[in-house]
Amino acid sequence: MSYLMSYDLGTGGIKASIHQEDGRLLRKAFQEYATRFPSERRQEQSPQDWWQAVCDTTARLLAESGIPAREVRAVALSGQSLVALPLDKSGRLLLDSVPIWSDTRATAEAEEFFTRIAYDDWYGITGNGDPPETYSIMKLMWMKKNQPEIWARTDKIVGSKDYVNFRLTGVVATDPSYASGSGLFDLKSGRYRTEYLEAADIDANLVPEIRESHAVVGTVTPEASVECGLAAGTLVACGGVDNACMALGARGIGEGRVYTSLGSSCWIAVTSATPVLDRQTRPFVFAHVEKGYFTSGVSIFAAGRAYRWARDVLCRDLSGDAYSKMDELAATVPAGSRGVLFNPTLAGGSSQNASTDLQGSFSGITLSTTRDDLLRAVLEGVALDLGCYCLGALQKQVRLEDRMLLCGGGARSPLWRQIFADVFGMPILKSSVDQDAASLGAAAIAARAAGFWSDYSRVDALHRDEGLQAPDLEHQALYAGLKSKYRAWTDCLADLKGRRTS
């Protein structure tokens, strides 16, 4: 039998999985890696950590499964978006630590770019609705200005999963879904826009060639085989950006399919043949891994990362499965967290917020406030922010299904799922795929690259419903009232930081 290997290169760590050729999951492994915060706006990771995590999880999966490496026919990656890594002419990485998608240091560069290009036109063409400074082109402008010695030696720029593909094959390439987060990509034509490269003063030869997501980039080299444990000659698919891979793994391909991804960050996304664009609420849009489709979404930058912050800061005494213990503590607190509100903008505000400079906050703390109250407030704050600013932004543009699929690591928490049902006012569905949606999407891409699948129609059959949580009507009414209070409070916080003007 032949097998597939997929990797979900996320913000908090990597999920690696072995699948049968029909897509069924056999075994998975997770490895965490660090994020560095050199200053308020800077958020960085080490690409070498990504590569080492690929090598470590591959070795672990092959050893635990007993599957010979030569029987893995193809591999594919889902990669965190908006990352730009510089390589020199010999293919050597020029930076030990690089800005990740949520890094917002390039504000001055974004302002400079929009003196040459009209923002509304740029958004309408690229669909890049997150804060402009997060997109790759602005980060490249920052690098050119602030790291001239690195820039002078740069020969190619690659994204996160494309760097791993390069380490595996020696080939530099990307796919439409990843390219669509560069700030340079025309959603309609499927190509880079020359005028944007010129406005940023970036040589077109620096950006990678675009291939289809299921195209075979190359094969694992003998050198890479020694490092990572995959057999030399294993097919490597081009892969896709995490948003698109998760959309594929969550619901397959189909008009109007919607899901909420509750991972390190959180977004609500819909698949459609037309990108969902709105210049006021600014949904972000990525080209899908399937040509002719797009995945459009709205997001917050710290969801699981906010709960992880609570673990690291408030719950250092909890050992073992700390998150389950945190849920148990939070479950002892009534809905509404005894008056405590939490704003989850620990990594800044998204384009749906009144200010991208928002910072995380608690409100309503008294001398009687407990740690348990704070933990529930974190869970509620994530759901309230999405319910207030994100869900409505999509509902204005498209007709959503009457229930919401929740996937990502946070979907494992029954308490969090119930809070989402109560805040959203709609049933929340958990399937057997939950946190493995992006991995399944990458595995489906590998299956097409290997020739096992001709399309993605088999994805739906790999989902098994594991529960549907309906809203508690009393809690739903309580949260409906809290939403107006949450909005008023968040708007005050935005006034303190300075509202966005465009």
User: For the CA atoms of the chain, what is the radius of gyration?
Assistant: 22
Asked if 218 and 169 touch (Cβ cutoff 8 Å), the reply is yes
Give the type of residue at 356. Answer: T
Angle at 137 between CA 133 and CA 139, to 5 degrees: 55
Indicate the average pLDDT of the chain.
94
pLDDT attached to residue 500: 61
pLDDT higher than 80, residue 162? yes
Span 476-490, pLDDT tens digits: 999 999 999 999 999
Residue 8 is encoded by which pair of tokens? 């979900």
Residue 294 is encoded by which pair of tokens? 């797009």
Asked if 131 and 356 touch (Cβ cutoff 8 Å), the reply is yes
- Residue 239: which of 7, 3, 2, 4 has the closest Cα? 7
Q: State how far the Cα of 99 lies from the Cα of 412, in Å rounded to an integer.
A: 29
pLDDT attached to residue 155: 98
The distance in angstroms from the start CA to the end CA of the chain is 55
If one counts every other C-beta atom within 10 angstroms of the C-beta of residue 35, the result is: 21
Average pLDDT in the 68-91 region? 97
Q: b or e along 418-439 (b: 16 or more beta carbons within 10 Å of the residue's beta carbon)?
A: bbbbbbbebbbbbbebbbbbbb
Asked if 102 and 347 touch (Cβ cutoff 8 Å), the reply is yes
Percentages of the chain per state (helix, strand, coil), in multiples of 5: 40, 20, 40
pLDDT higher than 80, residue 502? no
- Residue 20: which of 399, 450, 345 has the closest Cα? 450
Q: b or e along 447-466 (b: 16 or more beta carbons within 10 Å of the residue's beta carbon)?
A: bbbbebbeebebbeebbeee
Span 206-245, pLDDT tens digits: 999 999 999 999 999 999 999 999 999 999 999 999 999 9
DSSP letters spanning 372-408? HHHHHHHHHHHHHHIIIIIHHHHHTTSPPPSSEEEES
Q: Model pTM? A: 0.85
pLDDT higher than 90, residue 313? yes
Asked if 262 and 407 touch (Cβ cutoff 8 Å), the reply is yes
Q: What is the DSSP letter of 470?
A: P
pLDDT higher than 80, residue 252? no
What contacts 501, CB < 8 A, 6 or more positions away? none
pLDDT higher than 70, residue 444? yes
Q: What is the dihedral of CA 97, 112, 134, 152, to 10 degrees?
A: -30
Average pLDDT in the 162-189 region? 98
pLDDT higher than 70, residue 187? yes
Span 356-381, pLDDT tens digits: 788 999 999 999 999 999 999 999 99
Angle at 131 between CA 153 and CA 173, to 5 degrees: 40
What contacts 134, CB < 8 A, 6 or more positions away? 82, 101, 102, 103, 104, 106
Return the half-sphere exposure (C-beta side, CA atoms, 13 A cut-off) of residue 462.
26
What contacts 216, CB < 8 A, 6 or more positions away? 74, 235, 236, 237, 238, 449
- Burial environment of residue 19 by CB neighbours within 10 A (0 to 12, 13 to 18, 19 or more): buried
pLDDT attached to residue 350: 81
pLDDT higher than 70, residue 175? yes
Which run of H or of E encompasses 267? strand 266-272
Q: State how far the Cα of 485 lies from the Cα of 171, in Å rounded to an integer.
A: 52
Residue 358 is encoded by which pair of tokens? 């928002």
